[in-house]
Amino acid sequence: LAYFPLALWLPLLAVQCLSATQMGRGAQAAVRSVSGLLLDTPLCSVLKIVWVVMLVLCLECLRGVFKTRSASAVDAVDGGASVAAAFEVHASKEGALVMGLNLVSMMAILTLHGLIGETAKLERDRDMMKKQAEQQGQFAKQLLAQGDKKTAANAVPKETPMPEAKKDEPEGEVRKRE
């Protein structure tokens, strides 16, 4: 039962790792869109519930591995009881390993999906900043080329004189506006 999800997780994890280390941004975007079908949709919340269920099953298998055998199984003369107990321990070990592999691969896929998206965003931001810096440099060059033609006297506007107050109005009264 726990082997079927591994048929999905391990190839997806392998492709994510290969695209992150060996392939370009186009391949990373393609892999991110495939993993986005699982992780960027409401299916992600279902997968989180599945993860918790697998965690409980893994812990149950670990309990089966570490439980001590009862006295009746050890003292039994029949060899079949000890063989059955050994089989249960080995089955519990196998179940714990498979469930643990499922848990780790699900977490790794989610983490790689987020990291690939974050690096794509950072690269896009870096390219935008680079483009803005180039445009700002070109604008500054244009201003410097135009600045040589102007003088400092032409750059500052002249001050306008303040209108003088009329002398015939008394100081204490409110002035009428025209």
Q: Are 69 and 86 in contact (CB under 8 A)?
A: no
Range with the largest mean pLDDT of 42-51, 74-83, 165-174: 42-51
Mean pLDDT of the 152-177 span: 66
**Mean pLDDT to the nearest integer, 126-139:** 90
CA dist 159 → 152, 153, 156, 162 (Å): 15, 12, 9, 9
Res 82 pLDDT > 90: no
Q: Report pLDDT for 73.
A: 47
Which residue, chain included where needed, has tokens 């990373």?
28
Cβ atoms 112, 16 nearer than 8 A: yes
Contact 58/100 with Cβ under 8 angstroms? yes
